[in-house]
Amino acid sequence: MNSKYIKDLERPEVYHYLTSGIGPRPIALVSTISNKNVINLAPFSFFNVFSVTPPIVAFSPVRRGKDGSIKDTLSNIQETKECVIQVVTSSIAEQVNMCSIEYSNDVNEFVKAGLTMEDSLEVKPPRVKESPFQMECKLKDIISFGEGGGAGQLVLCEVLLFHVDDSILKDGKIDPHALDTVGRNGGSWYTRSNVNSLFELPRPPATSCLGYDKLPKFILQSKILSAHNITQLASSLEIPTIEEAKNYFEKNENSKNLTSKEDTDILIKEFLDNENIEDAWKLLVYLENS
Ligand SMILES: Cc1cc2nc3c(=O)[nH]c(=O)nc-3n(C[C@H](O)[C@H](O)[C@H](O)COP(=O)(O)O)c2cc1C
């Protein structure tokens, strides 16, 4: 492990570790308007959700490295106290990237990047038609982390309403496959949440699940079980008794075919791959005690 103290690093290095180590980050595509009615659109990956009631989301335009000046998005939101935040899907990733060019403050990035302005219902900045999930927001607060280059200006926004396109809904819920959002990693790297990268991980069933600390040594020291398998076992509510394990083995059709330790190991792995944790446990306990 390399340990790096912030006091020994230059700003670009701190930026590198923060943005390459923390990723993928969701991207807010933020539309704002100045009090001279100039529309602005820019992406921010220092972005997330922080409260449900009230619904609060936040993003952070940092001060420009070269002169510590603030970005147009921040200046607009300070003036007019409204914005629309839209998610970035893979179909508009390149256009969003174009919106990140440091244009002068009289440029409308919708026009530069070929994105379509659609009137909002409750706020003045327009929405991005091409994004299937949009949030109209009003400014709640701005927390400044300083005046110098790189200092974040955390913009806290209260969501007034969601616009959700039918194309991303399945049984009335947002389907992550259909949404296909893009996340930002370090440098010019991005992540797509499509079929190749999405996976499901249901919450462990109950607060009273075993946990690693209650697992017997023979499980923790097993040569065949992966960390994933051991976590599956740690997520169960109880360990079968030796009696239950023996009964299971004697009555089970498959038992006759288990002539070697290798066969049994394969069957245990198969059970776990198919989320049949109960049978895996019984075989493991039987083996340990036979
Ligand atoms: C995907 C992506 C994410 C970005 N995230 C941030 C961010 O979180 N904070 C920031 O200050 N700049 C970020 N930028 C850079 C800004 O988008 C860029 O400085 C932009 O010109 C700001 O526009 P504005 O001056 O019109 O507000 C990001 C750029 C890209 C491409």
Q: What separation in Å is there between the alpha carbon of 42 and the centre of ligand 1?
A: 6
Residue 207 has pLDDT above 90, yes or no: no
Closest CA to 134 of 145, 142, 126: 126
**pLDDT tens per residue across span 105-141:** 899 999 999 999 999 999 999 999 999 999 999 999 9
Q: Looking at the DSSP assignment, which residues form a beta bridge with residue 56? A: 51, 158
CB 194 within 8 A of CB 180: yes
Label residue 147 exposed, middle or buried (CB < 10 Å: 0-12, 13-18, 19+): exposed
State mean pLDDT over 151-176: 98
- If one residue of 100, 131, 188 were mutated to test the ligand 1 pocket, choosing by the most ligand atoms within 8 A of its CB, it would be 100
Q: What is the per-residue pLDDT across 64-106, written as a single tens digit (0 to 9) for each?
A: 999 999 999 999 999 999 999 999 999 999 999 999 999 998 9
Where do we find the tokens 């440091």?
A: 102
Cβ neighbours for 193, distance < 8 A, ≥ 6 positions apart = 176, 179, 180, 181, 182, 183
Burial readout 205-235 (b: 16 or more C-beta within 10 A, e: otherwise): eeeeebeeeebeeebeebeebeeebbebbbb
Residue 15 has pLDDT above 90, yes or no: yes
Q: Is 184 in the pocket of ligand 1 (CB under 6 A)?
A: yes
Please, which residues bridge with residue 84 across strands?
Answer: 31, 136
Ligand 1 pocket, 100 CB below 6 A?
yes
- The residue contributing the CA closest to ligand 1 atom 10 is 61
60 CB within 6 A, ligand 1: yes
**Model confidence pLDDT, tens digit, residues 222-262:** 999 999 999 999 999 999 999 999 999 888 877 777 778 88
Q: Return the pLDDT at 63.
A: 98
Q: For ligand 1, atom 20, name the residue with the nearest CA.
A: 100
- All residues at 6 or more sequence positions from 231 whose CB lies less than 8 Å from its CB, including other chains: 212
Q: Which helix (DSSP H) or strand (DSSP E) does residue 156 occupy?
A: strand 153-164
Instruction: Give pTM, 2 decimals.
Output: 0.90
- Contact between 42 and 59 (Cβ < 8 Å): no
The chain-wide mean pLDDT, for the chain, equals: 95
Q: Cα dihedral angle (35, 40, 45, 51), rounded to 10 degrees?
A: 40
Cα–Cα dist 144/35, whole Å? 22
Query: Length of the chain in residues, anyone?
Result: 290
Q: Does pLDDT of 213 surpass 90?
A: yes
Q: Domains plus CATH for the chain? A: 6-192 (2.30.110.10), 212-289 (no CATH)
Ligand 1 contacts CB of residue 72 (under 6 A): yes
